[in-house]
């Protein structure tokens, strides 16, 4: 598959995709991803947005002006469906609601996380982060650096969604396809009256979304296993036109989902080989340090290192669930070795 090269935000324009759907690029200041594609779906009862973009004054202007290009005033917006709670998707939903009285809808699993974030106080958040890093084998300096980050939680939604629900969009059929993995409540949205799938971050044309386990040593979840199952679910929908939240729209969501599936299966195999050759059990941190990232481990800043460790943890956990590796009983920090 030939990949179109990603173009910078400055070259993005609000675009009429036909069939009453517009894409509105909204910048993510200071982030190499560049922009979120917010989608506007027209309906006789007013437009609904899929995602809203990053909470920043420049992003707000881009969203407002982009909707203006589609002939829509922000005050007319009926609702915002958020594909997942991350700030580049949910960030501006609260401001859209303030201006328009729109509802905000999100899958119930992500809605529960958002409520939890609002309850968490700064001190408790710091302790939680520090404890999680220590148990994964991070050193004191890394714990100190990473625990200092505290993102602002997104707006609490008015409506929660479940798999198969129809979004409140009179005259159109927009169905929720629950695709956990990138977050527990990530959803794709199938515009069934037009064979289009809003894929959020689940299926992107040139990159793959972050899938991590938090806290790193959790043994009661399997986000990567969920993600791979969610990719199969999208592949099962057939060749729908994909309208992703980043990069660019592309023709066949299912084909790309299968590619991403193969990528992770390769990564899982490589990790099993790595553990086999390690000569002893590894902590999550040691494992992450030996995996291949887009930059050498030593050069990753604290936040990216924390995400890489989450990704390593997700792959370890998936291999554990499959019975390929096991965690050493009672080890503190937790370690993993190939199942003998």
Could you list the residues that contact Zn ion (CB under 5 A)?
86, 201
For Zn ion, the nearest residue by Cβ is 86
Neighbours of 140 (CB within 10 A): 10
Phi, psi for 334 (deg, rounded to 5): -60, 140
Instruction: Give me the least distance between CB of 209 and Zn ion, in Å please.
Output: 6
Residue 72 tokens, joined: 């829509």
Nearer CB in complex with Zn ion: 86/97:
86
Residue 234 tokens, joined: 């999208």
Instruction: Give me the least distance between CB of 88 and Zn ion, in Å please.
Output: 6
Phi, psi for 311 (deg, rounded to 5): -70, -40
> If you search the block for the tokens 């990704």, which residue do you land on?
311
Phi, psi for 142 (deg, rounded to 5): -65, -40
Residue 169 tokens, joined: 């969009």
**Do β-strands 159-161 and 174-178 pair in parallel, antiparallel, or remain unpaired?**
unpaired
Nearer CB in complex with Zn ion: 142/311:
311
Instruction: Give me the least distance between CB of 85 and Zn ion, in Å please.
Output: 8
Instruction: Give me the least distance between CB of 87 and Zn ion, in Å please.
Output: 9
Instruction: Give me the least distance between CB of 219 and Zn ion, in Å please.
Output: 24
Q: How far is CA 79 from CA 43, 96, 187, in A?
A: 11, 9, 16
Instruction: Give me the least distance between CB of 83 and Zn ion, in Å please.
Output: 8
Nearer CB in complex with Zn ion: 66/209:
209
* 193 SS3 class: coil
**Do β-strands 282-283 and 325-327 pair in parallel, antiparallel, or remain unpaired?**
unpaired
Nearer CB in complex with Zn ion: 204/325:
204
Nearer CB in complex with Zn ion: 86/233:
86
Nearer CB in complex with Zn ion: 72/82:
82
């Amino acid at each position: 598959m030939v990949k179109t090269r990603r173009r910078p935000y400055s070259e993005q324009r609000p675009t009429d995709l036909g069939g009453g759907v517009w894409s509105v690029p909204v910048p993510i200041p200071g982030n190499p991803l560049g922009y979120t594609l917010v989608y506007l779906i027209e309906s006789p009862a007013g437009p609904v947005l899929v995602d809203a973009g990053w909470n920043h004054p420049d992003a707000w202007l881009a969203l407002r002006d982009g909707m203006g290009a589609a002939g829509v005033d922000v005050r007319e917006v009926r609702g915002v469906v958020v594909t997942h709670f991350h700030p580049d998707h949910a960030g501006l939903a609260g401001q859209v609601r303030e201006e328009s009285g729109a509802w905000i809808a999100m899958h119930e699993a992500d809605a529960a996380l958002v409520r939890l974030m609002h309850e968490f106080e700064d001190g408790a958040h710091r302790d939680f982060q520090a404890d999680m890093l220590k148990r994964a084998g991070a050193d004191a300096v890394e714990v100190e650096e990473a625990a200092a980050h505290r993102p602002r939680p997104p707006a609490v939604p008015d409506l929660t969604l479940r798999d198969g629900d129809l979004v409140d969009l009179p005259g159109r059929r927009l169905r929720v396809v629950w695709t956990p993995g990138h977050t527990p409540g990530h959803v794709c949205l199938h515009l069934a009256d037009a064979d289009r799938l809003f894929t959020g971050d689940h299926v992107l044309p040139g990159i793959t979304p972050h899938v991590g386990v938090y806290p790193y040593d959790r043994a009661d979840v399997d986000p990567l296993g969920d993600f791979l199952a969610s990719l199969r679910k999208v592949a099962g929908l057939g060749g729908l036109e994909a309208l992703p939240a980043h990069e660019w729209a592309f023709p066949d969501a299912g084909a790309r989902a299968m590619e991403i599936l193969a990528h992770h299966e390769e990564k899982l195999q490589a990790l099993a080989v790595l553990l086999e050759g390690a000569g002893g059990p590894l902590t999550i941190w040691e494992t992450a340090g030996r995996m291949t990232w887009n930059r050498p481990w030593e050069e990753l800043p604290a936040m990216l290192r924390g995400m890489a460790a989450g990704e390593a943890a997700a792959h370890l956990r998936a291999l554990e669930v499959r019975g390929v590796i096991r965690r050493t009983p009672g080890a503190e920090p937790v370690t993993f070795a190939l199942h003998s």
